[in-house]
Amino acid sequence: MATYDLEEQEQLDSLKTWWKMHGNLVTTVVTVAALAVLAWQGWGWWQRTQATQASALFGGVQSAVAQNDAKRAREMAGELIDKFSGTAHAALAALLSAKAQIEGGDIKSARMQLTWAADHAKDDGIRDLARLRLATVMLDDKAYDEALARIAAEPAPSLAPRFNDLRGDILMAQGKNTEAKAAYEAALVKLDALIKEGGAEARARGAYRETLQIKIDALGGAVAAGEAK
């Protein structure tokens, strides 16, 4: 029994010595690990809270648009952008609200919200769509150079025909018929590539192709007349 007590005491003394040497390090490691777990859990909770609140505001924007309340849609979209700009809901709300502003005649507010979405949306597709809509508004405002600048960068393939089509509209508004025709032809080439892929949108794309062809045919005569002069 005495031998056992002696061995036990030696082990205890050895443990005390080890703890004196490494105790602070162990305490630090354990503390850091515990804080990391708490931080991760806190981050997850914060993200869920942000998403929930952003979703609620987005629902409010949708409701306002459905009720043709452009002012409320603009205010709620603005609040969503201010508080939750990092969420996908913010850019979607800007697009949705901008449509309501255009229909309500508030082009200035529509341009502001579309500009924000075009510059800050996290999703490439949403940014491209915002650029397309913003350039369309600029075309209506006769801000041709600004509109062309907005659609200068190549978009996702699914939007490439629309970008080239709009580029043609802008160039035609500037009286640059030859360049406009080239843009429409580029739109047709990109659209045909999409049509070959098939899919649920094939029929709608076929109808859109007819529209592009009409624009090209109409400009064919206009370009020829211009060249004859």
Q: How far apart are CA 35 and CA 48, in angstroms?
A: 20
Q: Are 208 and 166 in contact (CB under 8 A)?
A: no
Q: How confident is the model at residue 226 (pLDDT cuts 50, 70, 90)?
A: very low
Task: Using a pLDDT cut of 70, give the percent of the chain over it.
Answer: 72
Choose the weakest-confidence range: 1-15, 50-64, 90-104: 1-15
Give 70-104 pLDDT, tens digit per residue. Answer: 999 999 988 988 888 888 888 999 999 999 999 99
Identify the structural domains of the chain with CATH numbers, from first to last: 58-153 (1.25.40.10), 158-229 (1.20.58.80)
> Which pLDDT belongs to residue 166?
97
Residue 8 has pLDDT above 70, yes or no: no
Residue 64 has pLDDT above 80, yes or no: yes
> Which pLDDT belongs to residue 43?
45
Segment 16-20 mean pLDDT: 65
Segment 36-63 mean pLDDT: 67
In angstroms, what CA-CA distances link 185 with 40, 105, 114, 139, 156?
A: 53, 33, 28, 20, 18
> Which pLDDT belongs to residue 198?
72
Task: Using a pLDDT cut of 90, give the percent of the chain over it.
Answer: 50
The chain-wide mean pLDDT, for the chain, equals 82
Q: How far apart are CA 166 and CA 83, in angstroms?
A: 33
Segment 195-210 mean pLDDT: 79
Tokens 């082009």 sit on residue: 107
Q: Are 191 and 168 in contact (CB under 8 A)?
A: no
> Which pLDDT belongs to residue 50?
62
Q: What is the pTM of this model?
A: 0.73
Residue 45 has pLDDT above 80, yes or no: no
Q: CA nearest 130: which of 83, 76, 91?
A: 91
Q: CA nearest 167: which of 153, 180, 154, 185?
A: 180
Residue 167 has pLDDT above 50, yes or no: yes
Angle of helix 160-173 relative to helix 177-197, nearest 10 degrees? Answer: 170
Give 107-154 pLDDT, tens digit per residue. Answer: 999 999 999 999 999 899 999 999 999 999 999 999 999 999 999 999
